[in-house]
Structure 1
Amino acid sequence: MSESFQATNAASNKRPLEDDTEALSTTQAKKARDDAPELVRDEEFWYEDGTIILVARNVEFRVYKGVLADHSSVFADMFSLPQPASTSARTTPAEIPVVYLEDSPEDLRHILRALLPKKSALVKFVAEDPSFHEISAEARLGHKYQIDALFNRSLSYLKECFPTDFDARQKWLKDHNNNQVPVEWGVHGAMVFAIGVVNIARLAQVDTILPSALAVCCCLDAKQLVKGFEREDGSRERLSEEDLELCITGMRRLAHEASVAVVTEFARFILPNGCTGEADCQNAINQLLSDYGDNSEPYFPFKNPFRDWDDWITEYWEEEVELEEDAVCETCSAKVLKGFRVQQRDTWKRLPDIFDLHVKDWPI
């Protein structure tokens, strides 16, 4: 067979392959369009006089590009580019530009509620603390789209909930009935949102939030800690492998801190000057230590490592008085409570070290 024939034959064999590939691509594209979920209008954010349509997954939001561009330089740049035609001519006015976003409709809706607040949404935000999902959306999308007002507001809120100052955290816990996360996030099982707080702190590079947020994560059970929680859009939020390792290590170290606190304040308790109970006080201290050891659900640190112990211990001894059992005098009670506060404060100072973190502005 001649070389010219071979070359001609190779060329003739090549062209159909290219044509087939192009035809296959066209077929795949058509199939992808046909398989795409039908677009639906958002019930909350569809303004008939809106100037831009944002598509998050299969949900269309018709809003005002001037307002969004004013808040976000990323949106401003995005809107300045030619936009693709809508794939839903039936539901979308042809003359309105369409922008496709990779965000969930739930997150985008939270952002639009903040930037284009309706009367009910504005009243709600002023009157009540936001949910975790609102804070999460404002932090993550505020960072992504450079919406500084929302981003900074969400971080200020988290810094207030997870401060660096021990006394500020104590006051916050007391104001929130010793719930370790805001009560507005829920009462039962809401502690798992601390995982999201850690992830937001990492995203925003705000290391001052991390120690106290990780400490809350250490109070989760193993399943919650590993599996995380479900977001509004059905996706799961988990700790990174690195932060999961920090929590596992931190749990052991916090447990050691607990042992130090108990041994120092109970097992080594010495009656102070001014004690009026003597043997009764010593017996009551010993009984409290014994009950702590017999408790199937240890109070510290698995429940809340920085909770105010005053109410718990005072309530314990008040029950003893009602049962006509040994109780401590006021002098001994004050010594125990002060001692535990000193132990907690000392643990708080070392909290970054417990999690192998370097936090520049952590008080020492």
Structure 2
Amino acid sequence: MPSSPQIQSLSQLGQHESEGSHFPQKHDSLYLFDGNIILMAPTKAGGTTLFRVHQSILSNHSPIFANMLKSSISDEGQMYDGIRLVRLTDDAEEIESLFKLIYIPSPLILSQRLSRHVPPIVRHVLKLSNKYEMSKLRQAVVQVLETQWPTSLAQWDRLEGEIAAMAWDQDYDHTPLDLDRNLPEPALAIRLGREFHVPSIMPAAFYHLSRLSIGHSLHIPRDAVRQRTADWNLLTAADLICLIMGKEGLSMVAASMLMSDCSGDETMKTHWAEGDCRGCRRSQIMEQIHWECKRTSDVLSTLRRYLTVEPFPWSPICETCSCVIKNQLRKVRQTLWAMLPLLFQHASLYFFDGNIALTASNNFGEQTVFRVHQSLLSHYSTVFADMLSLPLEQEAETYDDVPLVCLPDNAEEIESLLKAIYFPRFPPLYPHLTRCAPRAIYHLLNLSNKYEINELRHEVVQQLEADWPTSLARWDRLEGEIAGLIDSDGDSMCPEDPLPDPASAIQLARECQVPTILPAAFYHLSRLSIRCQPDKPSRCKPWRRTANWGLLTARDLRCLLLGREGLRQVTDSMLTTETGDVESQIHWMVDRCRGSQRIEVMNKIREECQSTPDVLATLRGHATAEKLLICHICHSWIRDRLKQVRHALWTKLPTLFQLED
């Protein structure tokens, strides 16, 4: 008598199990009677667990599951309980966590709102949601983590208030709890953020860690029940470097911002003169706050405490000065919070699964370590590919159990390069119509030349060429765009010329070998007066363009003078009217046209071009004029001639400014 499909499938499963393995066990709550697919996952004890779930639900959450389960339909797979069975290599406990969150989508499953320990389900879901591309589930876990490590200052203040209230309640409890053992722990959060790439929780975790003393360890008994601690043993050397840099940076930035005084503000001077106010009291209070922030480990809380004081007890001041102080403190807090990712830097360039560590020094000799992926560097750079493929010596230095490579480049330059490689979807490296190229552009161009990263260099050069075009058509479009900006804001005084600086562009092109932007930059420079300096803005309408003339070398200035003279000479030569051509003679005789009028107009244009600093704009203005002459044939001739001269001049710019060598 033939056995049933279930018995046959069970015997088949038994054949695949090694000797001594446990018989497959159905999961207690995730073996659903109406499920249409069974997934089998191994357990740590050597057995297997069966999950009977719905293929449609898994496919809806994961494109990986959708493709995997769809492709297995045509395969002659195993059967169990009369339906298909699919083997997974993931641990059964991890699969259980994933399915629980799918079928019971409640944050309560992930963790308590405030908990010191991260439950295993969080790790399991983060790991498998990355593997199976389950973005919604991952976001649900990240949102729970962000309630413990907020991403905004307002959320941070609310969380701090809640914890303070919990501490207050303990004063009236006969058996107070150790709050530290019931509150989130920063070192574990940092490790989780690195391991599963959750950068949003890192700034708050690092800031909280910076408030703690390393002398108060989690494993050391404490007398004070409210003393917050961290499991410092979980932190790597890179974490501690980020922590030290962040603590120093917080102190310096806060001190710098609090030192700024508004005593020079005209409104405050008027207030002190007219009102019964002693401005020195406001200065005394700011000095006191500055002194405290330099000595505290919790700048944000110190500043917030002064915001809630009403009035300032030790030095009473008027309501106006009090508002000024509090507005300044709010601004400082917001700025400090926004700068946390930068202050605790390199958290995003030390990947837990990186297989190569790069170290470089900054200008002060301080070492920075980047843990990255060899395959990615090799993909972008043939130089890196050859360098990293060399066999390692037996005594080669390692860092965090991966090979360590010491680079001679500056750490800031390496950081700019790695950020451009790892985060290509960030805002443009060089935003359109930027006054001066940031230092990161110099770093990228120099290192892309050195390490032959052609793709990255091409992208940067394209962004530069958007401000310094390589064709006349693009130049005209850019000029129109800038004219629109000036017209829309021409009545307001601009503190300085915000548009691209030609001297900075020339310096960049010379240092980083970007010759394509030089013709446009030199032509624009030739239009400017050396009397117009960026530190002496003009109130004229339209805006007076300026250049940072101090950046130019003697070679640059010689090229500028040669170009200016050459433009005038070539323009004068090309605009000289030739009256001897047969076509013009026939037109003047047959159509009874006054040819002298054409000559007069061309001579006027030629004279104007000799006195104008912007030949291309002058020619374009005449070429687009509605009516130059009564005779439409002569008008078309002049218009076409001016267009030809403009194109010829643009083509000759490298020669005129001697840029070809």
SS at match of 1:54: strand
Matches of residues 334-353 of structure 1 in structure 2 within 5 Å? Answer: 334-348=323-337, 350-353=339-342
RMSD of aligned C-alpha atoms? Answer: 5.3
User: Does residue 242 of structure 2 align to residue 246 of structure 1?
Assistant: yes
- Deviation at residue 143 of structure 1 after TM alignment: 0.4
User: Does residue 272 of structure 2 align to residue 285 of structure 1?
Assistant: no
- Deviation at residue 148 of structure 1 after TM alignment: 2.9
Distance 1:201 1:361 in 2: 23
- Deviation at residue 141 of structure 1 after TM alignment: 1.9
Cross-structure match for 1:72: 62
SS at match of 1:218: helix
Distance 1:346 1:281 in 2: 25
Cross-structure match for 1:25: none
User: Does residue 56 of structure 2 align to residue 45 of structure 1?
Assistant: no
Cross-structure match for 1:15: none
Distance 1:65 1:259 in 2: 59
Matches of residues 107-122 of structure 1 in structure 2 within 5 Å? Answer: 107-117=94-104, 122=106
Which of these residues, 282, 296, 313, is aligned with residue 306 of structure 2?
313
SS at match of 1:247: helix
User: Does residue 138 of structure 2 align to residue 151 of structure 1?
Assistant: yes
User: Does residue 244 of structure 2 align to residue 257 of structure 1?
Assistant: no
Residue-by-residue CA offset, 1:312-348 (whole Å, 9 max, x unaligned): 1144455x65xxx543332222222222233334444
Give identity over the alignment, percent. 14
Distance 1:265 1:63 in 2: 68
Asked whether the 8 Å contact 2:210–2:247 carries over to 1, the reply is: yes
Go from structure 1 to structure 2 and tell me whether the alpha carbon gap of 1:129 and 1:355 turns closer, same or farther (over 3 Å shift): closer
Q: Write the letter of the residue equivalent to 1:149.
A: K
- Deviation at residue 142 of structure 1 after TM alignment: 0.6
Residue-by-residue CA offset, 1:58-104 (whole Å, 9 max, x unaligned): 5835331624641334445389489899xxxxxx9899847455447
- Deviation at residue 290 of structure 1 after TM alignment: 9.6
Distance 1:216 1:112 in 2: 33
Matches of residues 25-36 of structure 1 in structure 2 within 5 Å? Answer: 33=20
Asked whether the 8 Å contact 2:255–2:294 carries over to 1, the reply is: no
- Of 280-289 and 337-346, deviating more is 280-289
Distance 1:139 1:93 in 2: 31
Residue-by-residue CA offset, 1:132-185 (whole Å, 9 max, x unaligned): 65655443321022223323444577789754xxxxx233234445579xx9xx
Distance 1:332 1:316 in 2: 14
Which of these residues, 34, 44, 68, is aligned with residue 57 of structure 1?
44
Distance 2:188 2:89 in 1: 25
Distance 2:140 2:128 in 1: 12
Distance 1:201 1:44 in 2: 33
- Deviation at residue 108 of structure 1 after TM alignment: 3.8
Distance 1:140 1:130 in 2: 22
Residue-by-residue CA offset, 1:25-56 (whole Å, 9 max, x unaligned): xxxx86xx47x9x9876554343565334344
Q: Write the letter of the residue equivalent to 1:111.
A: L
Cross-structure match for 1:328: 317
Q: If the length of structure 1 is used for normalisation, what is the TM-score?
A: 0.55
Distance 1:99 1:112 in 2: 15
Go from structure 1 to structure 2 and tell me whether the alpha carbon gap of 1:262 and 1:280 turns closer, same or farther (over 3 Å shift): closer
Q: Write the letter of the residue equivalent to 1:151.
A: R
SS at match of 1:328: coil
Matches of residues 114-193 of structure 1 in structure 2 within 5 Å? Answer: 114-117=101-104, 122=106, 133=119, 136-155=123-142, 163=151, 169-177=152-160, 188=180, 190-193=183-186
Consecutive unaligned residues in structure 2, runs of 5 or more: 1-17, 167-178, 218-229, 347-418, 432-661
Q: Write the letter of the residue equivalent to 1:173.
A: W
Q: If the length of structure 2 is used for normalisation, what is the TM-score?
A: 0.34
- Deviation at residue 115 of structure 1 after TM alignment: 1.6
SS at match of 1:327: coil
- Deviation at residue 309 of structure 1 after TM alignment: 3.6
Distance 1:294 1:115 in 2: 49
- Deviation at residue 241 of structure 1 after TM alignment: 3.8
Distance 1:137 1:309 in 2: 39
Matches of residues 75-90 of structure 1 in structure 2 within 5 Å? Answer: 75=65, 77=68, 80=72
Q: Which structure: larger Rg? A: 2
Distance 1:254 1:155 in 2: 26
Go from structure 1 to structure 2 and tell me whether the alpha carbon gap of 1:64 and 1:171 turns closer, same or farther (over 3 Å shift): same
Q: Write the letter of the residue equivalent to 1:341.
A: R
- Deviation at residue 188 of structure 1 after TM alignment: 4.3
Cross-structure match for 1:226: 232
Residue-by-residue CA offset, 1:281-301 (whole Å, 9 max, x unaligned): 459728954993898xx2533
Asked whether the 8 Å contact 1:83–1:99 carries over to 2, the reply is: no
Asked whether the 8 Å contact 2:211–2:298 carries over to 1, the reply is: no
Asked whether the 8 Å contact 1:218–1:251 carries over to 2, the reply is: yes
Go from structure 1 to structure 2 and tell me whether the alpha carbon gap of 1:300 and 1:136 turns closer, same or farther (over 3 Å shift): same
Q: Write the letter of the residue equivalent to 2:136.
A: A
SS at match of 1:146: coil
Asked whether the 8 Å contact 2:251–2:293 carries over to 1, the reply is: no
Q: Which has the higher contact order (CA 8 A, sep 6+)?
A: 1
Go from structure 1 to structure 2 and tell me whether the alpha carbon gap of 1:291 and 1:344 turns closer, same or farther (over 3 Å shift): closer
Go from structure 1 to structure 2 and tell me whether the alpha carbon gap of 1:193 and 1:354 turns closer, same or farther (over 3 Å shift): closer
SS at match of 1:285: helix
SS at match of 1:227: helix
* Aligned pairs, number: 284
